[in-house]
């Protein structure tokens, strides 16, 4: 089943209302949530999330995740320290 972005957003709006949310669900919100869960909960690398979201530039993915380049560098450093 193929959905247009407009149709997808309409379906998300219905789902939000059925769930009793007092805000409108959007595809942008869904994509940011997807990215955040895989990055923060499952530690998936930004490059993999970038591929899944179809972003050409990792900075766009990092914007979705609301992380700065310094945050990313610190996360990598911590992972290296844990591995040693």
The pLDDT tens digits along the chain (84 residues) read 677 989 999 999 999 999 999 999 999 999 999 999 999 899 899 999 999 999 999 889 988 888 776 777 777 777 888 877
The sign of the torsion formed by the CA atoms of 45, 51, 39, 41 equals negative
CB atoms within 10 A of CB 10: 12
Domain containing 78 equals 5-83
**Contact by Cβ (8 Å): 9, 26:** yes
Question: Per the structure, how many domains does the chain have?
Answer: 1
* 26 touches 10 (CB < 8 A): no
């Amino acid at each position: 089943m193929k959905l247009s972005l407009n149709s997808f957003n309409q379906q998300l709006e219905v789902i939000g209302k059925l769930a009793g949310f007092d805000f409108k669900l959007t595809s942008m919100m869904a994509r940011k949530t997807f990215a955040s869960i895989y990055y923060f909960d499952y530690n998936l690398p930004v490059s993999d999330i970038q591929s899944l979201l179809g972003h050409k530039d990792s900075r766009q993915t990092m914007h979705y995740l609301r992380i700065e380049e310094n945050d990313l560098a610190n996360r990598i450093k911590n992972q290296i320290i844990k591995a040693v």
